[in-house]
Amino acid sequence: DLYILGQYRDEPIPGVSGAALLLNLDTNLSPKWSKIYYAEHFNYYKASLNIKSDGELVLAYSTKGFFPTILASIDSNGEISEQLGYPFHTPSISPMEDGSLVIGSNFSYNDTIGIFTNLSLSKTDKQGYIDNCDVFSTCLLSRDVPLSYGAIEVDTFTITEPDSIPMNVEPWNFSFKDECSVPPAPSPYFSFPDTICAGECTLTGDTKNRLAHARQWHLRGPGAIDTIINDSLNFNYCFEVSGEYELTQSIWFLGCESTFSHTFRVLDELQSTLPSEKTVCTQPPFQLTGSASRPLTTFLWGNGNTNPILEIDTSGTYTLIASDGYCTIKDTIFISFIEDLLTSGEAIILPPDTSVCEQHLPYLLTPQSPYTQIFYAPELMNEPGSVIPVNRPGTFTVQTNLFGCDLTNRFTLTLKDCQARIYFPTAFSPNDDGINDQFSPQGLYFEEIEFQIYDRWGGLIFTTKKPPFVWDGAGFPTGIYVFRFRYFNTLSMIEEEIRGSVLLIK
């Protein structure tokens, strides 16, 4: 059989440039089969072919860069039976009849300086392995391709006498040492946080994909988030939507794809629950507690305090930087103590505790304040107002709201005895014996206004509005008479009236 190796210039698969084309002809130059050989994300650079003594083919296939070479064993039908890969940079390749492969490269690698110029020469054994040097799995692919053939023209010509070309050969000495400096194989592994805060931009770390032939990042997340980034060494993304995500890196190395995925969670942004300002209604000190939409783990107040609670004794602006272990907030609050806001005097000014006559109830309590005219007395009234009617004795709380604070004061009202001391005899005898000869009011704390006497039938028989307020019973028989006495109470300052009866004895 005759084998012809060439280059297939079209893309065997999207994104891959070129492939090795292998044609098998019989002794009559008739095609038996034709195939192309290629690998994903492994652009064609060189290919070389040899035939082993058992008729099996040995195909060496390469691209540029590190890990560029695939050595494949191919059976008589063009199918790949075995394959291995090698790391040497942009090499010259030559498969041998025994199935081994000779690889020459102008570059070497070490862990200190990476890639450097240095001639290296390697030869595999018959199975494709190199002593004390790593080889790698590969994924060379093949498929049939239809070919069209034109007519083959055969011509014969004769060379009469070859030209003589002088050559000067000088010895050139090389020194070699055994060494196998293989760069680390690329890996799809990467590090990425398990939890991220919304609004943050995050970059992958610990990537080992630099020597891969291709890289692809694929991010899937909430809603319609589905992002693909090709051929980037790292993945950098700013997360605005909270939820569960998966980030996958796929790399292609010697034609093989390998992947690594990492799931993580994006948290909602941390929200401080501190108000922008707060009025403290109590006397200093005040304990300010850092808080947020999720439990916090670290705290840093503006004064360097790292406790969750800051004790405050003066009005002013206070700053907190805090974290829940994933997200960080910075917040500022202005604290005002109520005592620093009451610059024009007391909040509620009440009259001194007062004692009044029962007749004067309700007592109209009129609180005063430089800041408001609205007051509350929950024990006495249902609606706020500027005047509070006090209809019973007791101690009552008067309150108002200033700057968000419920402020209070206390007022006590007591009742005093405001009864006029008035006495009328139950009987009198006008017989000039000097004892109960007249009927008139006696006592204290009153001023007479009017004195009237009625008979038993209701007829008015005596009246006076001037002193003396005395009835002597003259001209009237023994019997019971009704009196009506109006007077001014000098304690309560109220006009009052007494009605009663008296026995006239003659």
Would the pLDDT of 499 be above 80? yes
Would the pLDDT of 410 be above 90? yes
Quote the distance between the C-alpha of residue 482 and its chain's center: 90
Alpha helical stretches, state H, 331-407: 338-341
Query: Alpha-carbon distance 37 to 61, whole Å?
Result: 8
Would the pLDDT of 213 be above 70? yes
Q: Residue 162: CA atoms inside 13 Å, Cβ hemisphere, count? A: 3
Nearest-Å Rg of the Cα atoms of the chain is: 58
Which tens digits make up the pLDDT trace of 20-63? 999 999 988 888 999 999 999 999 999 999 999 888 999 999 99
Three-class secondary structure of residue 123 per DSSP:
strand
Which tens digits make up the pLDDT trace of 128-166? 999 889 999 999 999 999 887 777 677 787 877 778 888
The C-alpha angle with vertex 33 and arms to 32 and 36, in degrees rounded to 5, equals 160
Would the pLDDT of 182 be above 90? no
Higher local confidence (pLDDT), 148 or 183: 183
Query: Alpha-carbon distance 131 to 129, whole Å?
Result: 7
Query: Alpha-carbon distance 131 to 439, whole Å?
Result: 149
Q: What is the pLDDT of residue 147?
A: 82
- pLDDT confidence tier of residue 408, bands split at 50, 70 and 90: very high
**Structure pTM?**
0.69
Cβ partners under 8 Å of residue 92, min gap 6: 46, 103, 104, 105
Separation in Å, CA 79 to CA 20, 73, 75, 118: 14, 8, 5, 36
User: Quick one: average pLDDT of 233-258?
Assistant: 96
Would the pLDDT of 402 be above 70? yes
Pick the closest to residue 501 from 467, 454, 460 (CA basis).
Answer: 454
- pLDDT confidence tier of residue 168, bands split at 50, 70 and 90: confident
Question: Could you give the strand order of the β-sheet that contains 114-123, starting from the edge strand earlier in sequence?
Answer: 92-95, 101-110, 114-123
User: Quick one: average pLDDT of 433-437?
Assistant: 86
Least confident of 158-167, 300-309, 330-339, 366-375: 158-167
Domains belonging to the chain, first-starting first, are 2-144 (no CATH), 195-267 (2.60.40.10), 278-341 (2.60.40.10), 354-416 (no CATH), 421-504 (2.60.40)
- pLDDT confidence tier of residue 110, bands split at 50, 70 and 90: confident
Cβ partners under 8 Å of residue 457, min gap 6: none
Please list the residues that pair with 2 across neighbouring strands. Answer: 25
- pLDDT confidence tier of residue 250, bands split at 50, 70 and 90: very high
- pLDDT confidence tier of residue 328, bands split at 50, 70 and 90: very high
Length of the chain: 506
Report which DSSP code applies to 151: P
Would the pLDDT of 243 be above 90? yes
Alpha helical stretches, state H, 359-442: none
Quote the distance between the C-alpha of residue 260 and its chain's center: 28
Q: What is the pLDDT of residue 152?
A: 65
Q: What is the pLDDT of residue 327?
A: 94
Three-class secondary structure of residue 482 per DSSP:
strand
Pick the closest to residue 266 from 210, 324, 195, 218 (CA basis).
Answer: 195
Q: What is the pLDDT of residue 282?
A: 93
Pick the closest to residue 215 from 191, 192, 234 (CA basis).
Answer: 234
Tell me what percent of the residues of the chain surpass a pLDDT of 90: 80
Which two tokens mark 3? 């084998």
Would the pLDDT of 491 be above 70? yes
Task: Confirm if 128 and 100 have CB atoms less than 8 A apart.
Answer: yes
